[in-house]
Amino acid sequence: MGLISDRMKTIGPSVTLATSAKAKQLKAAGIDVISLAVGEPDFQTADSIKQAAIQAIENGNASYYTPTPGVPALRQAVLKRTAEDLNLDYEDNQVIVADGAKNVLYNLFQAILNEKDEVLIFAPYWVSYTEQVKLASGTPVTISTEAKNDYKVTVAELDAAITSKTKALILNSPSNPTGMIYSKEELLAIGNWAVKHNILIVSDEIYGKLIYNGHEFISIATLSDEIKAQTILVNGVSKSYAMTGWRIGYALGNPEIIKAMIDVASHSTSNPTAVSQYAAIEALTGSQEIVEKMRLAFEERLNTAYPLLAAIPGFEVIKPHGAFYLFPNVRQAALACGFTTVDEFVDGILMEAHVAVVQGSGFGSKDNLRISYATDLETLTKGIERIHQYVLSKMND
């Protein structure tokens, strides 16, 4: 009998986390590696949030199990923040807090999918969607979107992909890895399509506060009562509050689905870490100025990095509107540098130019690579400059 389950045979490791781990290893070995790999803010969590956690430890609140979907004060904080930010109201039985948005999504797919149920995922997609669907015995059905449509899915593409097994679609606006944001009209078209076909909308809005240069974020759930009822809204504190290590995310929506997610969590994690929950209450209810301060820093980084990247020969890049990634198509550059695949090119960039970026193949887009600009301006500029010099030197070889 094999050691590892059949289920795991089709599951790869998270390439974002694996690349970042590789960069850390090289750094530990004394190599001056610049990591533009992982999507995590370089900022420290705000002192006010840290203090709330320290207090929860000192007053004993952090010592015990909490209710599986999170302490009532945190669930109320989530409801209040959502009402304030999106003007959307949910009831107490429509919210679950879990260990990061990643764990929220994991619980969701476990809760809703029967074997071979299909989930529509738009490529380029965040690396964990396909694997989480497979872990829940579902079938990820990827739809390749086109650069000329700003990597956004169209209703015609949805029509071509739907089958009698289609259960849900995953929408991620702003998108990791492309940084694209869907407009109101585009969201309405997708939302109405999902309502018409009774397809659940999983709306991953983790980057919803990271929008730049005057662009606008719209949550699909705000567009009509029918669309809201059809949507599970997913969010968390990792990206907007620089709290990736605390592991707090949440979902809002249909109470029956939320209850099933809570049941899944009750047998796996029991509850999100208590101390992190108290930190998250402060994040969601305290001053929101910290969010804006970080957003402005990301905006400046985007506006600096984008032209530098676009100037590299063979790099075609659409300027993102949100999140903190750039996702150039680098096929021409890879070929001009003597590589046959972008994966090999990305490996060359790491091993020879000492810059860690993530290969697009992990996001279902083999001609691209992803650069995270969640790092300080100097490091970011230096990293892109190194890639530029590397490309020039390889092209002249």
Q: Give the nearest distance from C-beta 237 to ligand GLU in angstroms.
A: 13
Residue 147, class by beta-carbon neighbours within 10 Å (0-12 exposed, 13-18 middle, 19+ buried)?
middle
Q: Which of 39/191 has CB closer to ligand GLU?
A: 39
Candidate segments 34-42, 46-54, 79-87, 328-336, binder of ligand GLU by CB under 6 A? 34-42
Residues 6 or more apart in contact with residue 292 via CB below 8 angstroms: none
Please say which residue, 22 or 382, places its beta carbon nearer to ligand PMP. 22
Measured from the CB atom, the residue of 138 and 236 that comes closer to ligand PMP is: 236
Q: Does 16 bind ligand GLU (CB under 6 A)?
A: yes
**CB of 101 or CB of 333, closer to ligand PMP:** 101
Which C-beta is closer to ligand PMP: that of 70 or that of 236?
236
Q: Is residue 238 close enough to count as binding ligand PMP by CB under 6 A?
A: yes
**100 touches ligand PMP (CB under 6 A):** yes
| Residue 157 · residue 193 · CB < 8 Å | no
Choices 21-29, 57-65, 98-106, 295-303; region in contact with ligand PMP by CB under 6 A? 98-106
Of these partners, ligand PMP, ligand GLU, none, which one is at the site of residue 101 (CB under 5 to 8 Å by kind)? ligand PMP
**Binding residue (CB under 6 A) for ligand GLU from 11, 17, 161, 336:** 17
Query: Which tokens go with 378?
Result: 């100097």
Among 106, 122, 126, 306, binds ligand PMP (CB under 6 A): 126
236 contact, one of ligand GLU, ligand PMP, none, CB 5-8 Å limit per kind: ligand PMP
Inter-residue contact 365 to 289 (CB < 8 Å): no
Phi–psi pair at 82, nearest 5 degrees: -65, -40
Would you say 14 or 288 has its CB closer to ligand GLU? 14
Alpha carbon separation from 80 to 51, 124, 329, 365 (Å, rounded): 21, 32, 40, 38
Footprint (CB under 6 A) of ligand GLU, residues 47-106: 102
Identified binder of ligand PMP from the candidate list 179, 236, 272, 383, rule CB under 6 A? 236
Cβ atoms of 298 and 373 closer than 8 Å: yes
Instruction: For tokens 């907007």, name the residue.
Output: 240
List, as one string, the DSSP characters of 201-222.
Answer: EEEE-TTTT-B-TT-----GGG
List the single partner that 249 binds among ligand PMP, ligand GLU, none, CB under 5 to 8 Å by kind: ligand PMP
Residue 11 near ligand GLU by CB under 6 A = no
- With H, G, I as helix, E, B as strand and everything else as coil, classify residue 302: helix
Q: Element (H or E) spanning 138, and its range?
A: none
Query: What is the C-alpha to C-alpha distance for residues 144 and 151, in angstroms, rounded to an integer?
Result: 8
Closest distance between ligand GLU and the C-beta of residue 100, in Å? 8
- What is each CA distance from 94 to 40, 150, 332, in whole angstroms? 28, 33, 48
Q: In this chain, which stretch among 37-45, 297-305, 312-320, 383-391 interacts with ligand GLU, using CB under 6 A?
A: 37-45
Phi, psi of 242 (to 5 degrees): 55, 55
Identify the helix (H) or strand (E) that includes residue 355.
Answer: strand 355-356
Q: 247 or 394: whose CB is closer to ligand PMP?
A: 247
Q: Give per-residue burial for 6-20: e unless 16+ CB within 10 Å, then b.
A: eeeeeeeebbbebbb
Q: Is 204 in the site for ligand PMP (CB under 6 A)?
A: yes
Which part of the chain contacts ligand GLU (CB under 6 A), choosing from 73-81, 126-134, 188-196, 345-353?
126-134
Tokens describing residue 298: 């990301």
- Placement of tokens 């430890």 in the chain: 57
Q: Is residue 244 involved in binding ligand PMP (CB under 6 A)?
A: yes
Which whole-number Å values give the CA distances from 20 to 17, 103, 235, 283, in the listed order?
A: 5, 20, 23, 26
Kindly state the smallest distance separating residue 303's Cβ from ligand PMP, in Å: 21
The 28-57 site mask, x for binding ligand PMP (CB under 6 A), equals -----------x------------------
Which residues of this protein are in contact with ligand PMP, per CB under 6 A? Answer: 39, 100-102, 126, 172, 176, 204, 206, 236, 238, 244, 249
Which residues of this protein are in contact with ligand GLU, per CB under 6 A? Answer: 14, 16-17, 38-40, 102, 126-128, 176
